[in-house]
Structure 1
Amino acid sequence: MFGANPALVLNADFQPLSYFPLSLFNWEDAVRAVVKGSHVVVAEYDRVVRSPTTVMRLPSVIALREYVRPPARVAFTRFNVFLRDRFRCQYCGEQFVRGELTFDHVIPRADGGQTCWGNIVAACSPCNTRKDRFRMKPLRAPYDPVQHDLLAAQRLFPPNFMHETWLDFLYWDSELEH
């Protein structure tokens, strides 16, 4: 019934906890968090839910009451490598969906290459197969991203659904209308 009414979850500074995937609660969890007191309602849908003693509009945007500090270090994961490289093969430059990319060692492990930020790039299967034979170099050298790098990359991939009340909180750095 209310499956299409997710709530955008913001940190106490009114920034999304995550852009990709976008930090969302289903309507039940959003109502539960507000009633429990851990979150406050920032914006609402027109729909209401009722209990025997209460009528409440469904929250469309909620914020944590207490600030949660983002991690200081970016986790080294396959997904974060793809996100850092913006889901582009670092050899041919084509953009792919997540399942079509591979994890590539720029310096092969057989030659002493490490599995770390500075030696891993996203690559499509054809480029990964032929890169050694044709001595292909990545278009962009691999690097250790900071949290800001991944947040910037996450903003490039908007969610499939965005309620109008979310727009004020998602893209603060986008150009304003004239």
Structure 2
Amino acid sequence: RIGAENVAAAQIALNISSMTYVIPMSISFGITIRVGHALGAKDKIGAIERSKIGILVAGLMSLISVTIFLLFPDWIIRLYTTDPAVSATAATLLVFTAMYQFSDALQTSSNGALRGYKDTKVPMLLAIASYWGLALPLGIVLGLTDHIVPAMGEKGFWIGILTGLTVAAIL
């Protein structure tokens, strides 16, 4: 319903986002291991320090992605397409992608720390609520309906993603 060019642009932005997501995800795995080791050694203060430092590193690393997305969108998009219509829409979506890089890095690395503490149930429930209960319905309402604002198409879905990731990070 939102058109092939818009779907293609969304796919480009999602692919770029997925590639940069591996950095905070990898850091989160390291946080899980380091926190788990500290807790296994009965070093609660060390576990807290490792959690904080890991989350900080992931957040700072995400700012590199944000900077690149905002400064060089045309160069990045050209790796995928030269179609002007797809490129223009992808550039807009890349701004949304840049906006959620930081919150996504924070929620991913925080989940890594919580896994080190063997806390997985509550973060899973919070993620389900954030993504399935908030992000997707908001994206559908903003993207495909006129209930709140005139249908925004793919931008509405990306606002939903941005909102869900930010809420998950805060929770």
Task: Write 1 or 2 for the structure with the bigger share of helix.
Answer: 2
**Greater C-alpha radius of gyration:** 1
Task: Write 1 or 2 for the structure with the bigger share of strand.
Answer: 1
Structure of higher RCO (CA pairs closer than 8 Å, 6+ residues apart)? 2
